[in-house]
């Protein structure tokens, strides 16, 4: 009789008997919009120790990330600086190489790794200057904040930015050697733009953090330590610096293990640790969370290890610390459980 009544009335036997029954909901992930920010400047045209061009290695890594992420989040690409002319023809134009074009942006969407690969592998050789600030702003223009307020930049870079807002040698500034190298008859190095880029990354970090993958492309230059020092600064400013080392805060793109660790520890947590409760929202004060394999998750208002609400009335919550890292690495779902007299309809 109880079974027949439950079918007819849409109630569980426990509800008919006045007993609370467990209800479960698999939480929805709230992934950010991901933009791959790719430096196409001159040093990426150098050869690495194995005889490969660094730009080719960067493309391989960017395509690999796009394939790994395309079903989990909307992924787009921004290449900088402009790529509409070769690098070594002698007709240097500062205005060109410190700008980007609209058609150098691939608007973020799901499942477009094939289009991203076709575009990146079809680009011409690298150009001289590093228009990182302009690249950041161009990438942000195609992120639809109204639809998704969260975004993530994954920056593939080789060091400092050298396209500033001024061409006046008197105003040039570089972090380690002020004043910086100035222009010589319209050729050579531009004003360094490090501080402006660093400040912008720090400003964006709360809602649009940056994961930095660095290419050490100029080991034979007079100041080979300059690039790594600046990449460290950008990684820290971006809010997702690695924590296992104090001397290297960015992920080394040419390392055998770092690219995978950057994906696992820097990118996947942004996808798997921001969650949404919907069906059981009315029971949020009573619910508990567990991992899909059954392990319970602890609520932690200190945000060191566990979960906590970010906007409770909207059902938005976040995982923190080792709990977040474990679930992101395993790519597990999180289940909300509560007990009520009647489970809401799916």
Q: What is the mean pLDDT of the chain?
A: 83
How distant, in Å, are the alpha carbons of 166, 227, 312, 343 from that of 281? 53, 49, 9, 12
> Strand pairing of 28-29 and 274-276?
antiparallel
Is the pLDDT at 141 greater than 70, yes or no? yes
Lowest mean pLDDT among 42-51, 78-87, 108-117: 78-87
CA-CA distance, 254 to 66, in Å (whole number)? 18
Of the candidates 212, 36, 211, which has an alpha carbon nearest to the alpha carbon of residue 135?
36
In this predicted structure, what is the pLDDT of residue 221? Answer: 54
In this predicted structure, what is the pLDDT of residue 288? Answer: 92
In this predicted structure, what is the pLDDT of residue 43? Answer: 82
pLDDT band at 3 (very low <50, low <70, confident <90, very high): very low
In this predicted structure, what is the pLDDT of residue 5? Answer: 33
Is the pLDDT at 13 greater than 50, yes or no? no
In this predicted structure, what is the pLDDT of residue 223? Answer: 56
Gap between the terminal Cα atoms of the chain: 25
In this predicted structure, what is the pLDDT of residue 172? Answer: 56
What is the 3 state secondary structure string of the chain?
A: CHHHHHHHHCCCHHHHCCCCEEEEEECEECCCEEEEEEECEHHHHCECCCCCEHHHHHHHHHHHHHHHHCCCCCEEEEEECCCCCCCCCCCCCHHHHCCCCHHHEEEEECCCHHHHHHHHHCCCCCECCCCHHHHHHHHHHCCCCCCCCCEEEEEEECCCCCCCCCCCHHHCCCCCCCCCCCCECCECCCCCCHHHHHHHHHHHCCCCCEEEEECCCCCCCCCCCHHHHHHHHHHHHCECCCCCCCCCCCEECCCCCHHHHHHHHHHHHHHHCEEECCCCHHHCCCCEEEECCCCEECECCCCCCEEEEEEHHHCEEEEEHHHHHHHHHHCCCEEEEEEECCCCCC
pLDDT per position as a tens digit, 37-72 = 999 988 888 888 888 999 999 999 999 999 999 999
Domain 33-271 has CATH 3.40.50.410: yes
133 vs 9, more confident: 133
* pTM as predicted: 0.85
pLDDT band at 228 (very low <50, low <70, confident <90, very high): confident
Lowest mean pLDDT among 21-30, 79-88, 112-121, 330-339: 79-88
**pLDDT more than 90, % of the chain:** 58
pLDDT per position as a tens digit, 149-196 = 999 999 999 887 777 776 665 555 544 443 444 444 343 444 678 888
In this predicted structure, what is the pLDDT of residue 216? Answer: 82
What residue spans define the domains of the chain? 33-271, 273-340
Is the pLDDT at 338 greater than 50, yes or no? yes
In this predicted structure, what is the pLDDT of residue 184? Answer: 40
- List residues bridging with 214 in a β-sheet: 157, 252
CA-CA distance, 197 to 194, in Å (whole number)? 5
Do 11 and 1 touch, CB atoms closer than 8 A? no
pLDDT per position as a tens digit, 303-319 = 999 999 999 999 999 99
In this predicted structure, what is the pLDDT of residue 188? Answer: 40
pLDDT per position as a tens digit, 238-288 = 999 999 999 999 999 989 899 999 999 999 999 999 999 999 999 888 889
């Amino acid at each position: 009789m109880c079974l027949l009544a439950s079918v007819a009335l849409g109630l569980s036997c426990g509800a008919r008997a006045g007993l609370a029954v467990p209800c479960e909901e698999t939480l929805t992930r709230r992934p950010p919009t991901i933009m791959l920010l790719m430096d196409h400047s001159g040093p990426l045209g150098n050869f690495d120790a194995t005889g490969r061009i660094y730009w080719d290695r960067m493309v391989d890594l960017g395509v690999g990330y796009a394939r790994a992420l395309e079903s989990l989040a909307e992924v787009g690409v921004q290449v900088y600086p402009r790529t509409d002319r070769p690098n070594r023809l002698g007709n240097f134009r500062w205005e060109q190489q410190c700008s980007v074009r609209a058609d150098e942006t691939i608007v973020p969407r799901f499942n477009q790794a094939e289009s991203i690969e076709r575009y990146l592998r079809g680009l011409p050789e690298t150009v001289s200057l590093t228009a990182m600030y302009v690249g950041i702003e161009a990438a942000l223009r195609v992120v639809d904040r109204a639809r998704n307020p969260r975004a993530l930049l994954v920056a593939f870079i080789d060091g400092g930015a050298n396209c500033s807002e001024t061409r006046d040698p008197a105003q040039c500034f570089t972090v380690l050697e002020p004043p910086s190298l100035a222009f010589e008859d319209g050729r050579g190095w531009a004003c360094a733009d490090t501080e402006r880029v660093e400040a912008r990354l720090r400003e964006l970090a709360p809602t649009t953090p940056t994961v930095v993958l660095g290419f050490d492309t100029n080991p034979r230059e007079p100041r080979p330590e300059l690039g790594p020092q600046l990449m460290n600064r950008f990684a820290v400013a971006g809010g997702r610096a690695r924590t296992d080392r104090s001397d290297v805060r960015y992920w080394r793109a040419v390392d055998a293990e770092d690219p995978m660790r950057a994906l696992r520890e820097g990118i996947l947590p942004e996808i798997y640790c921001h969650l949404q409760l919907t069906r059981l929202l009315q029971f949020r004060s009573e619910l508990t969370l567990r991992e899909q394999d059954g392990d319970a998750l602890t609520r932690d208002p200190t945000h060191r290890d566990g979960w906590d609400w970010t906007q409770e009335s909207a059902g938005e919550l976040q995982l923190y610390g080792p709990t977040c890292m474990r679930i992101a690495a395993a790519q597990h779902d999180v289940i909300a459980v509560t007990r009520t007299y009647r489970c809401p309809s799916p």
